[in-house]
Structure 1
């Protein structure tokens, strides 16, 4: 048996530049969060007595690595060195290999893979021989199929593990510039585990071979919600691997959608929001994006009251260390469904089919191609990411609902 930690996409010293109007003490905690998550990972490595630690790319947020990030990372690696825990690193598209004269040296227990695919061996304390194959990026974009340069599994080792910072072909088109691969190509190498990096969402790519994205170590914006951390992996010669997610991020981003269309009083509205927010404890802090649907039939005074900044302020919490802070508060009046045409109720099968099809990146891009080509604004010419696609679909549904409601009223007056 061999036990190790698989992490990726630390993005140390991420600036969190999109946040505004954040109190200084909270901003300091946010900017320190990537380092705290790394420290939690190191503690878990020691506590679980792992054989080694793997980092599958993007240790740093930029190729121009800050001195602070490098020194902090070095100190954490020295903690592992004192426990005789080796560390293996590949660099990704954010922290690709650059001018080494600007880099802080790392302790002897750390091995960094070259910019061409190479294989290194290690022997664990129990005498297990492990082969590790991987490469570091030498530039931001790598469209070449680097997977083809990985060797087939070595027969003379107990386990062979691949480290790859790349994109699973056919899933998210905006990542196609990053060492693309397919599950079939992974399978041909016959490895015992693939330690993947690049996608910030935790994901099991394949059971055979075992191939995982651990997600990033700390969410950095409202798109990277819920718990973040790393994987504790156990490989056994004659049994299935045991893979456990261990949360390490001290700050959790949450997106909370609240249906308040039946609410007519400020008191009920306040209680509904209060019940929907997470409770802060000694472990996690929260950055919350609130999107609340209210009825278009609500009184003007009610809508004015709930849109005041005070309604955000009263729900925010700040303890000695932990906090709950609302980064976004959006109230959207919509037509009551019983007055409009609820497509999901009237045509459930067709509606679900349409939503599924339009959510596909290829279909979405085809439908919006002319629209994007005609618009010259920076807003409309932004990258059509998965997050942006979801936002456009959501807004289109709201518009359709409002149009349906208007048509329903017009028809009732005929």
Structure 2
């Protein structure tokens, strides 16, 4: 019998970018977006007889969640627990406290304590009873220096050396986990962190490159595991595709910013079997982000926008417009009329103008100091097509001006 697993991560309750107040609830509508997507995943799981749910880290936007965010997440967990579904909550970097001794963002679930809820705040193995039988879940939260190194070990060391020391200790922990696995039971490893070869969303790549310790993929592909549930990277991907075990980022449940515009958002539904796990990525109705790019050099921006709107659906989307303009066109852009055409959008995040800088004119090699003023002017006009139809008039006017100057100069 397969163990049906719901794998979610990076639900980021409280991420309110591009949000506005919902008058009916008093909550930010982006919080409601994230909550709707998580409940969509839970609906699917309950309809398909889920046996275990794993939230693979980053439950909240930051370590000090607003009570409204906590309430929304608690409602999600309660639905699973009331359906007799065990829940594993892994600690991500957004959930960690910034000072020693302070509670992490989801510690309340561990403190009460609550039946069927397992909070993983340090590397450890758990044996969890489900309706499909017992399952082993090894959890590895977001890697920090204090998890694996003493203060003396990392004091005054460069970041690169610290990350290397952390990885050496982490690899040892992963090997010890694999050695503890009971081969008669399904085994799941859940990790919140950056794994080698993972593709980052564009905004994440700016934030994380050079800062995150990178976990080698090879330490996660030990055949002792039947499924590896990852969190932290917002793009869904399988780093060990077609091989055993699947090493899968579920991706974030909702789009965070325009860097994730083209990414599908959802969760993973896995059927975990010893040595033969299969899974499906299931999309959720995440709010769309849409970028409309217009080039004013190709025509009237309003006409171009109308054409874009014919082929792009912006209904209830977060929309931004980027218009390429010359310096002369910049002040002619009619933002009010653009916004009028975007009424179907949930939010217009901005109308940006990208101004093209005019290329500097290269000096004509024939224009030298040895030329007289009239010769120089004639060659300049001949090299500039803008003056072609006025060449004779300009030369005649220049001749008159030169004559007046000569007459005013002292003899």
Give the structure-2-normalised TM-score: 0.68
Matches within 5 A, 1:249-398: 249=286, 251-259=287-295, 261-263=297-299, 265=300, 268-280=303-315, 285-293=316-324, 296=326, 304-305=331-332, 307-317=333-343, 323-332=345-354, 334=356
Do 2:226 and 2:276's aligned partners in 1 also have CA atoms closer than 8 Å?
A: no
Give the Å deviation of 1:279.
4.2
CA distance in 1, matches of 2:118, 2:16: 27
Residue among 164, 182, 194 paired with 2:191 = 164
Is the partner of 2:58 in helix, strand or coil? coil
Please list every run of 5 or more consecutive structure 2 residues that lacks an aligned counterpart in the other structure.
Answer: 148-162, 199-204, 367-381, 385-411
CA distance in 2, matches of 1:408, 1:85: 76
1:191 maps onto 2:238 in alignment: no
Residue aligning to 1:180: 214
1:210 maps onto 2:246 in alignment: yes
CA distance in 2, matches of 1:406, 1:243: 58
The verdict on how the C-alpha distance between 1:188 and 1:278 changes in structure 2, with shifts beyond 3 A counting, is same
Residue aligning to 1:56: 56
Give the Å deviation of 1:308.
2.2
Q: Deviations over 1:76-115 (max 9, x none)?
A: 2111112111111110111026634985446422111132
Cα RMSD after superposing both structures: 3.6
Is the partner of 2:94 in helix, strand or coil? coil
Greater Rg over alpha carbons, structure: 2
Q: Deviations over 1:280-305 (max 9, x none)?
A: 2xxxx3111222335x49xx5x7544
Is the partner of 1:269 in helix, strand or coil? helix
Is the partner of 2:255 in helix, strand or coil? coil
Residue aligning to 2:407: none
